[in-house]
Structure 1
Amino acid sequence: MKKSYLKKLSFLFVLTLISISVFAQNGSISGKVVDESNLPLPGAAVFVEGTQTSTQTDINGNYLLTGVSYGNVSVTVKFIGYDNFTKTVKLSTDQSTLDFKLLPSSKSLNEVVVIGYGSVKKSDLTGAVTNVTSKDFQQGQITTPEQLITGKVAGVRITSNSGAPGSGSTIRIRGGSSLNASNDPLIVIDGIPVDGGGIAGSANALALINPNDIESFTILKDASATAIYGSRGANGVIIITTKKGQTGKPQIVFGTQYSFGSIAKKADNFSAQDFKDFVKNSTSIYATPALKAKIGAASTDWQNEIFQNASTNDNNLSISGSLKNLPYRLSLGYLNQDGILKTDKLSRTSLSLNLSPKFFDNSLKVTLSTQGSMTNSNFADQSAIGTAVRFDPTQTILSGNSNYGGYFQFLSGSPINATTGVTGLNSLAPRNPAALLDQRTNNGKSLRSLGSLQLDYTLPFLKDLRANLNLGYDVAKGTGTNVTSPDAATSFLRFPDAGGVYRSGVNNQYEQHKTNTVFDFYLNYVKDLKSIKSNLNVTAGTSYLSYETKNTNFADYSFSGVKNPTSTPNFPFDLQQNRLSSYYGRAIFTVNDKYIFTGTVRADASSRFAPENRWGYFPSGAFAWRISNESFMKNVKAISDLKIRLGYGVTGQQDGIGNYTYYNGYSLGNHTAQYEVGGQYYQVYRPNAYNPNLKWEQTATSNLGLDFGIINNRITGSVDLYIKKTTDLINEITQSAGTNFTNRFIANVGSMENRGVEFSVNALAVDKKDFKLNLAFNTTFNKNEITKLTNVQDPNYIGVQIGGISGGTGNTIQIHSTGYPRASYYVYQQVYDANGKPVQDVYVDRNGDNKITNADLYRYKNPDAKVLLGFSSSFNYKKVFGGFVLRGSIGNYIYNNVASSTGTRTAIFNSTTGILNNGSRDLLNTNFEGTGTTFYLSDYYVQNASFLRMDNLNAGYNFGRVIKGKANLSLNASVQNVFVVTKYKGIDPEIEGGIDNNFYPRPRTFSLGLNLNF
């Protein structure tokens, strides 16, 4: 009996061991994750429920889970913007296949931030909103975040201000809404409004953010979408969401990219030989024998001397996953970028951390997001660009002696000091371009930290009510030193010290601190009213923002550290502060999933206005009708989505003006303007211009939109018509001399209007198993007009002249005038000869008084495009992927100041300075002598700058799993600024402000990249 029992027990024990052995065996699960259009979703989180086994999809949406125990396995896929999807499979062999198709989420993170302060289903949006996710970003060498969406969004124009490393961009949404206040959109990063004013030591505030940390952009364009931001939404809102952690085991992503850039096009001036021939053969009265004798024997291409081939290294490492119930993401980035202008350089080290735990049965959601960065820059002297175009190409780079650092300089001919024998400089002549770069070092360092802590709590006694608290900060410190060699011509014998000895060189420093804090609290009530098939979403909250800037004042020093006696600061620092306190509310009522009503109101109080004008009130209302959900549309199979939107709202403006414009204050005069009292010199306090009646500038926007989807949303798009009317323009106006201690001050005078149409469409053109092709197109038409500039109609008032140019004294080329677009060119109408050549100083007598005066100036064209175009494509063919981005601009004009200031004989034969200057080859077309100054104002120099630019061309190959299946490897290559088609004669048709003078060229950049996903 015992033996039988022992045998049975032994058999059961062996069977148990066998069973354990069998079930302990591991297999793998692979598959592909695609979106509703069957396009791959790279970076989606894939994990086995109840385990730490997880991975991410590669660039083609493929994934591989290894070490999966046999048996019933539940696999979940998560991707931002899409509903989570879980499938269960019985794993009984070494490998199983499981594919996923994700559908857009009804309550995704992107949509939570789209409207601000709450969540709403995408189908319930009533405003003009565009979302761009990481899969649609621009490719290639991307240094600053805004470059990721250039050309991707209808109604949004993004223009890089220069080709310098990390340089900023000008962003305009539906045209500018102001003349003197800011036209920049509000940028919100993870709930924190970002100060776009920049920081000392950095070329661009957004350059401090690593683009690789960004998950998506949401652009709010009309007032019904932006009104919840009140006074900050007049120019649109861009909401940036950074990448967060995902549930599962750690995922490591490493990317490295090497880029090589070179100048795409140089200014068209004379070569050395052509210059010699031109000077020699010139019969101009200005080509005197004395000036002709100045021709040198060298052959120097000064543009080649200042520009270089520039390299960039960009490395990024991230790790994401979860520690039990604590999802996290940690990333580290390092960028090292040279500029194509010699000595220009940028390096950036960035670190970001995101934590998103949940507590109390998921009732409390905590999101901690923080980003830090350090940038080091050397800012090249960009005046070398314009000087290189003008400098005599027959002169040598070096002089052959040690004076002025050994660099050739134009001299006056008389010695400064009999002891040293150093010959004096020609004070009116340009300085050697190579010396401008080599003899100056301007090092800047910026530290920045941006972070937020968000607590989202669902109240236990009322599950439909949430309380949300968001605490945020944005702190930055910028420092730098500006050092110029003591033998540099630009700073030779610069000032006398206390003993009367003249000192040379520069050794100065600068420092700035910025501290911005944010407090947001709101309640959000969401209730499904099932009995009437409706939904109610109500939000109410308060916000407080504080901005503080501290600029440290330093004295002026020579290279050796001797202080300029007249530069001692009276105060160690200047402190600028402003505050914004707000209350806001919004209600969204959805009826039967067809009719959506949205109402929003916000009240803002700004410290920039006097107490009686401090509060501004900004309401909006919108309605949407989902026609596709109507019963009569059920049989229309071709149309999968159709919605009409109608909205109206008012937003305000107070950015871009001084913090104390309303206040009767005083400031110290200049150091050089001191008064003697009793043998001592003192600075005096001067009263500032002020306006106690200054109030909010307001913009009212009307929007009519249509969203559509065709053939199961293989084709989607939208059409929007809008009108933006700005009143009480914050404007700089003139007044009688002596009034208010100035002849110009800021007041609420005038109005302006923008009218436009936007159209965008996305299409999955090819949807085959091994080949996917996606096409996207957008276009925008915008018309701007100033409708009022004075409180009292004055037919003799021409407007406000702006747009200073090089050439003449105090010349301007643009004007704000009633009835015309902002910044229209204000010029003479050029007369041409029978051969189509412009005739100097011969213009159309527009007023018919038989003489040419200022009364004959007319308003002609403007810098803003009438039509913007964007076209992009992406494809996947098996393991190959690629795409391109094209942008177009029609109707924009640029004043070619390089041609006007250098394309005359008087510019080349400069009798004032007694030297020869190089000039624009445009002179061969105009034959302008350059007498007088009216030729600067000829409309000949206002040139059509319409263009078609290929921003990016990219391709890559996904090698799949490498390193014994532990990582996914992909390689990519791209070209940026591939080509430009334009009639414009300057180096680039895309120049913000419309005046081409001393522009830093955008490089053409070739990049190679490698990505490893573990």
Structure 2
Amino acid sequence: MKQILPQPIKFLRYSCVAFGLYITTSAASLGQNQPFADSTRFAADTVQFTYKPYELSAADFNKGLVTSVEPAIIGRFDGLRVVSGGGAPGTGAEMVLRSGTSLFGNNSPLVIIDGVLLDFFSHSLHASNLSWLNPNDIAAVSLLKDASATALYGGAAANGVLVITTKSGNAGDKIRLQYNATGAVSSLRKRADIFSADEFRILIRERYPNQQHLLGEHNTDWQDEIYRTGFGLANNLNVSGAMGPVPYRVSVGQLKQDGILKTSGYKRNTLAVNLQPSLFQKHLTFNLSMHNTRQELQLADERAIPAVMAFDPTQPVHADNKYGGYFAHTRPDGSLLSSQINPVSLLEQMENSDEIKTLSGQAHVQYRLHFLPAFTANYRYAYFKSDSDYSSSWPLDMASRPSSHIDLIKHALESETKHSEVFITLDQLLPAWSSKLNLKVGALKTYQENLSQYEESQRSSILYTRAQNRQLISENLSYYGSFGYTLFDRYTLSASFRNLSDSRYKEDVFRHQSKAVSIGWDIVKERFLANSEFIALLNLRANLGSFSRLDEPGRFRSIGWSPVQGSPTPGGSNWYVFPGPSNEIKLEKTLQKSLGVEFALFQNKILGSINYFQNKSSDLLIPFRLPYGSGNGLRHLSVGDLTASGLETALHYTIYQKGIAFLKLGAHATFIRNEVGSIGDATKKYTYSDSDYGLALVEGKPAQVFDLYQHLYDGDGKPIQGGYDKSEYGYALKYAMGTNQPKVYYGISSNGGYRKWEMSLLVRGSARQQVYNQADAKRSWLYANDKYPSLSNATRSYLENGFISSHLESSHFLEDASFLRLEYVQFGYNVGKLLGNKVNLKVNATVQNAFILTKYSGQDPEVSNGIDRGQYPQPRTFSLGLNLSI
């Protein structure tokens, strides 16, 4: 049963959820106006006796101009690491729980929105999978981590479940109108550390005087040329209430955001409708919802970011030439030097855009028996459709264009999903033994069709056209159930399972399965603690779960497609298991164990939780590249093993709470260790593809270590040009070192108020991970002679190392990427009632990404794969907001 706290401390629910703890003040607080026993809410309830889902309400989301789910929750849940894909507007983020359970499969939590499972398939090449959902329409986000809660959703939930509940109207409410707006200004937080034009001239004249004739006469700050101040504006309007027995909510949202990299931008328009009619004294209830979104992304060519580190600052942006009027380096015979790219040309001559249309809706019908109200029968139909149209074009006279006749690329992605689900629930109190029984049984059928259409062409001729269509059609059927029982209001037992068959796999051996069991003990209700004034809450829980799945390897996703000639037709493409004999391909299996305790001390003034977990994954799928000319380019083997274990802690402390003032502090931290157990008998080290050089899997090491040459240093500690540790035969040796995955990540939150003033902030960070600074490795050298008809700039690290050539796989550029970031700080003021007490006004001011404390020399230490190629920097943002309610 849910933990019920005394009435005087109702404020606890609103302060604790922000720090990873969930304590409810009443049995109805999970959704008193949500009569539906949907699968996600039931999963939380069946394990509520021993596990309280970590929930973040909309009021506790991160502040400022927050445009999607990921930035709204980053740094708020212990165990969940969210890393942005960069600072471009609308970009996605990587979410990983407890370092993941697979080496090449999906490691993100399963996302469930209002009871509907969201597929992992990418609905756009450039936007987040969740960017279509307006954060203003979200009521709460919960994170399920323990196996007893997640096993209900199958193997896809091995990495946790992110449950998103959208807003709805409340029964009996009068009409209510709300409007909120946020205006923001963004700028570059940190510039790349490169030489200015005058500094560059001095270097060339001092060190390469014979080449100073190549210097130009201009002083061009290429960073000023590609970066700008970005402006953003978000408007949201919603009306809610109830028309008789029909609660409703309708909202519209509009967002326009400029990127700090010139030519980049993002627009989004959203419409959300929710109706919850009921009949027969709420024994028959309906939940009808719809979300319609249109997104437009203007995509800047991010190659301009590393290009500014190399391009000669003494040359102009524009020139009178045959390359569209943009300066370009040429050889003495006039031919183009393609190795150096004018950064402004990349931004202004390239036109890249992506338009995404998304439609999501569901109808959920629930009947609660008159003679047994604890029993419900449910049916849900859900529909999701997404269309993405990407286009990239450039003039044929562009200096940095691809070396072909192609000047137009189009890529369309279409995704359509249909869900049909039936389930029954029983939630029965048994007073005789102070017990409670929860049961749930259901079935879900899903049909999904994904289509990819790719075309390259020359706009002025039909002779240069190449197209490829790919289609994936799948159907799956799953059966699931859960059981929960509480005895004497303090001993609990729960179990859950799911069995899923997928039409993409032609053998029944690939049926996905999950199952888990949990036990709990509410110790504080024992007689020896019944009258304790020191301990208000003490719950102990233990979980054991098993998950199996077969995921498409993310790094080689395209191999799962089957080509379709012309227009796709139903059944025209079947996608089966990956290449290789069936005895080489197995389900990926994960065994999860956890043990946790939750406590409240000093009359709930101190709240906390400690959780130990261990995940052991086996038969992990690894793609091996075959020798050239041997047919299939990849062979997949189920030979990988991965173990992860760690400790999660969360603590909340009410420092002061009295009258018109309060101050609260919260913190959470995750300590984690993972190790690759095996990658097969044929090799002890697995090197990633060329695009990810520098990363490897090594037995006995953490997942994704760096595979680099060990650089040697002279007696003064200066790196030696070309100096690497070598074998007895004179070959440079590579070693496994570092890892791109932190061993510790944490968040520190605080909120306080005095009278009408409020303040909140979030500081987050991670420690003991490394980033390979490839951007610096490419430009930390300087050399010029008669063979070089042009000059290239360098980073200031050249003054320390003196390199005359690049060292692209040197350990010298592997840096400590530990950091502490002030994610946001906000000050707010409640103006109060206006216009005859009809309107309430609140205003706020926010700074996002104010500063970072780190030893990393690059622009930002947070890089999703640990290799910094010069990613789109995350901007510093100042915003003003207002909220009007009538």
Return the TM-score normalized by structure 1.
0.81
- Aligned residue number for residue 681 of structure 1: none
Deviation at 1:840, TM superposition (A): 2.6
Tell me the C-alpha RMSD between the 2 structures: 2.9
- Aligned residue number for residue 818 of structure 1: 699
Question: Could you report, residue by residue, the CA deviation over 1:753-811 in whole angstroms, capped at 9, with x for unpaired residues?
Answer: 11110000122221011101121100000101000111x3x5xx231112746xxxxx8
Question: Could you report, residue by residue, the CA deviation over 1:90-132 in whole angstroms, capped at 9, with x for unpaired residues?
Answer: xxxxxxxxxxxx7873776899889726266588343473111
Distance 1:211 1:970 in 2: 19
Residues 852, 110 of structure 1: alpha-carbon distance in 2 compared, 3 angstrom cutoff: farther
User: What secondary structure, in the 3-state scheme, does the structure 1 residue paired with 2:309 have?
Assistant: helix
1:375 matched to 2:301: no
Asked if the contact 1:786/1:822 (under 8 Å) is kept, the reply is yes
- Aligned residue number for residue 928 of structure 1: 803
Question: Aligned match of 2:451 in 533, 547, 550?
Answer: 550
User: What secondary structure, in the 3-state scheme, does the structure 1 residue paired with 2:457 have?
Assistant: coil
- Aligned residue number for residue 985 of structure 1: 857
Residues 820, 41 of structure 1: alpha-carbon distance in 2 compared, 3 angstrom cutoff: closer
- Aligned residue number for residue 521 of structure 2: 625
Paired residues for 1:493-532 under 5 Å: 494-495=404-405, 506-532=407-433
1:157 matched to 2:85: no
Residues 364, 893 of structure 1: alpha-carbon distance in 2 compared, 3 angstrom cutoff: same
Paired residues for 1:130-209 under 5 Å: 130-200=54-124, 202-209=126-133
Residues 799, 887 of structure 1: alpha-carbon distance in 2 compared, 3 angstrom cutoff: same
1:536 matched to 2:437: yes
- Aligned residue number for residue 875 of structure 1: 752
Question: Could you report, residue by residue, the CA deviation over 1:180-213 in whole angstroms, capped at 9, with x for unpaired residues?
Answer: 1111111111112223433347522211111111
Residues 186, 857 of structure 1: alpha-carbon distance in 2 compared, 3 angstrom cutoff: same
Whichever residue aligns with residue 38 of structure 1, its letter is F
- Aligned residue number for residue 955 of structure 1: 827
Question: Could you report, residue by residue, the CA deviation over 1:206-245 in whole angstroms, capped at 9, with x for unpaired residues?
Answer: 1111111111111011322210011211111101001110
Asked if the contact 2:408/2:456 (under 8 Å) is kept, the reply is no
- Aligned residue number for residue 569 of structure 2: none
Residues 269, 725 of structure 1: alpha-carbon distance in 2 compared, 3 angstrom cutoff: same
Distance 2:72 2:300 in 1: 26
Residues 288, 195 of structure 1: alpha-carbon distance in 2 compared, 3 angstrom cutoff: farther
Distance 1:1001 1:742 in 2: 39
Q: Which moved more, 1:959-968 or 1:112-121?
A: 112-121
Whichever residue aligns with residue 861 of structure 1, its letter is G
Whichever residue aligns with residue 296 of structure 2, its letter is N
Paired residues for 1:36-185 under 5 Å: 36-38=9-11, 105=29, 116=40, 118=42, 121=45, 124-127=48-51, 129-185=53-109
Distance 1:642 1:915 in 2: 71
Whichever residue aligns with residue 938 of structure 1, its letter is S
Whichever residue aligns with residue 241 of structure 2, its letter is G
User: What secondary structure, in the 3-state scheme, does the structure 2 residue paired with 1:448 have?
Assistant: strand
Deviation at 1:922, TM superposition (A): 0.7
Distance 1:432 1:852 in 2: 40
Distance 1:424 1:541 in 2: 68
Deviation at 1:412, TM superposition (A): 3.1
Question: Could you report, residue by residue, the CA deviation over 1:484-518 in whole angstroms, capped at 9, with x for unpaired residues?
Answer: 234322349942xxxxxxxxx72443322110111
Deviation at 1:959, TM superposition (A): 0.6
Question: Could you report, residue by residue, the CA deviation over 1:28-51 in whole angstroms, capped at 9, with x for unpaired residues?
Answer: xxxxxx983536979xxxxxxxxx
Asked if the contact 1:608/1:654 (under 8 Å) is kept, the reply is no
Question: Could you report, residue by residue, the CA deviation over 1:690-740 in whole angstroms, capped at 9, with x for unpaired residues?
Answer: 55443321111100000111233232221100000111101112556665x
Deviation at 1:852, TM superposition (A): 4.7
1:406 matched to 2:325: yes
Paired residues for 1:444-459 under 5 Å: 444-459=354-369
Question: Aligned match of 2:734 in 841, 857, 861?
Answer: 857
Asked if the contact 1:952/1:977 (under 8 Å) is kept, the reply is yes
Instruction: Provide the aligned length of Structure 1 versus Structure 2.
Output: 862
Whichever residue aligns with residue 754 of structure 1, its letter is A
Asked if the contact 1:754/1:782 (under 8 Å) is kept, the reply is yes
Question: Whose relative contact order is higher, 1 or 2, with alpha carbons under 8 Å and at least 6 apart?
Answer: 2
Deviation at 1:975, TM superposition (A): 0.3
Asked if the contact 2:782/2:803 (under 8 Å) is kept, the reply is yes
- Aligned residue number for residue 667 of structure 2: 777
- Aligned residue number for residue 260 of structure 1: 185
Distance 1:937 1:508 in 2: 33
User: What secondary structure, in the 3-state scheme, does the structure 1 residue paired with 2:366 have?
Assistant: strand
Question: Aligned match of 2:267 in 347, 362, 365?
Answer: 347
Distance 2:266 2:492 in 1: 49
Distance 1:338 1:601 in 2: 46
Distance 1:593 1:111 in 2: 24
Residues 520, 957 of structure 1: alpha-carbon distance in 2 compared, 3 angstrom cutoff: same
Deviation at 1:537, TM superposition (A): 0.7
Residues 377, 725 of structure 1: alpha-carbon distance in 2 compared, 3 angstrom cutoff: same
Structure 2 unmatched runs, 5+: 1-6, 16-21, 566-576
Distance 1:225 1:993 in 2: 30
Distance 1:761 1:664 in 2: 44
Find the structure with the greater CA-based Rg. 1
1:765 matched to 2:655: yes
Distance 1:341 1:493 in 2: 25
Distance 1:660 1:342 in 2: 32
- Aligned residue number for residue 596 of structure 2: 705
Deviation at 1:664, TM superposition (A): 11
Distance 1:882 1:275 in 2: 46
Q: Which moved more, 1:605-614 or 1:630-639?
A: 605-614
Asked if the contact 2:294/2:357 (under 8 Å) is kept, the reply is yes
Paired residues for 1:596-745 under 5 Å: 596-657=492-553, 689-693=579-583, 694-735=585-626, 741-745=631-635
1:798 matched to 2:691: no
- Aligned residue number for residue 343 of structure 2: 433
Whichever residue aligns with residue 958 of structure 1, its letter is N
Whichever residue aligns with residue 379 of structure 2, its letter is L
Q: Which moved more, 1:340-349 or 1:628-637?
A: 628-637
Deviation at 1:747, TM superposition (A): 2.2
User: What secondary structure, in the 3-state scheme, does the structure 2 residue paired with 1:556 have?
Assistant: strand
Q: Which moved more, 1:202-211 or 1:328-337?
A: 202-211
Question: Could you report, residue by residue, the CA deviation over 1:836-887 in whole angstroms, capped at 9, with x for unpaired residues?
Answer: 2222333445xxx545535x32211101111111001111210001111000
Distance 2:556 2:305 in 1: 37
Question: Could you report, residue by residue, the CA deviation over 1:937-985 in whole angstroms, capped at 9, with x for unpaired residues?
Answer: 3222110010111000100110100122111011100000010000011
Whichever residue aligns with residue 184 of structure 1, its letter is S
Structure 1 unmatched runs, 5+: 1-33, 43-79, 84-101, 415-422, 496-504, 670-686, 806-810
Distance 2:114 2:203 in 1: 60
Question: Could you report, residue by residue, the CA deviation over 1:619-654 in whole angstroms, capped at 9, with x for unpaired residues?
Answer: 111001000111111121121111001001012333
Distance 1:557 1:511 in 2: 18
Whichever residue aligns with residue 717 of structure 2, its letter is G
Distance 1:782 1:651 in 2: 21
1:567 matched to 2:465: yes
User: What secondary structure, in the 3-state scheme, does the structure 2 residue paired with 1:274 have?
Assistant: helix
User: What secondary structure, in the 3-state scheme, does the structure 2 residue paired with 1:996 have?
Assistant: coil
Residues 493, 751 of structure 1: alpha-carbon distance in 2 compared, 3 angstrom cutoff: closer
Distance 1:704 1:533 in 2: 25
Question: Aligned match of 1:464 in 370, 374, 377?
Answer: 374
- Aligned residue number for residue 572 of structure 2: none
Distance 2:383 2:837 in 1: 42
Deviation at 1:536, TM superposition (A): 1.1
Question: Aligned match of 1:395 in 315, 331, 347?
Answer: 315
Asked if the contact 2:68/2:133 (under 8 Å) is kept, the reply is yes
Distance 1:892 1:379 in 2: 30
Distance 1:388 1:711 in 2: 57
Q: Which moved more, 1:612-621 or 1:389-398?
A: 612-621
- Aligned residue number for residue 570 of structure 2: none
Distance 1:590 1:155 in 2: 28
Q: Which moved more, 1:647-656 or 1:264-273?
A: 647-656
Distance 1:658 1:973 in 2: 40
1:221 matched to 2:99: no
